[in-house]
Amino acid sequence: MSPPPGMCPDEGTARQTSRIAAEIARRFFEDLRAFHRKKNPIKADEIAGRQLHALRQYQRPCEKKLRLSDVKQLFELMKDKA
């Protein structure tokens, strides 16, 4: 039986969670705030690109690859949380 979509074959039924270091979370929210302060779309893309690179380091090989548009959408959804 194959695992449900979005789950890696080695995970079984229980999805393992990993803790992201407090420093990485702090940088994410700093970039989130900076992204919404920037009026220049090129600078905003640069900030989103930095977080894209950081988030990709925590992805499993079987997960869908994140794109820059995914990070920008995440930043927009989290606008009120910053």
Domain assignment present for residue 6? The answer is no
Domain enclosing residue 31, as ranges: 20-81
Token digits of residue 64: 């869908």
Total domains in the fold of the chain? 1
Domain assignment present for residue 52? The answer is yes
Task: Give me the pLDDT at residue 18, please.
Answer: 53
Domain assignment present for residue 62? The answer is yes
Domain assignment present for residue 12? The answer is no
- For residue 50, CA distances in Å to 18, 41, 78 come to 21, 14, 17
Splitting the chain (82 residues) into consecutive groups of 10 residues, what average pLDDT does each group show? 58 48 87 95 96 90 93 93 72
Domain assignment present for residue 43? The answer is yes
Task: Give me the pLDDT at residue 80, please.
Answer: 86
This prediction has a pTM of: 0.71
Domain assignment present for residue 51? The answer is yes
The vertex-71 CA angle with 12 and 77, nearest 5°, equals 95
Domain assignment present for residue 44? The answer is yes
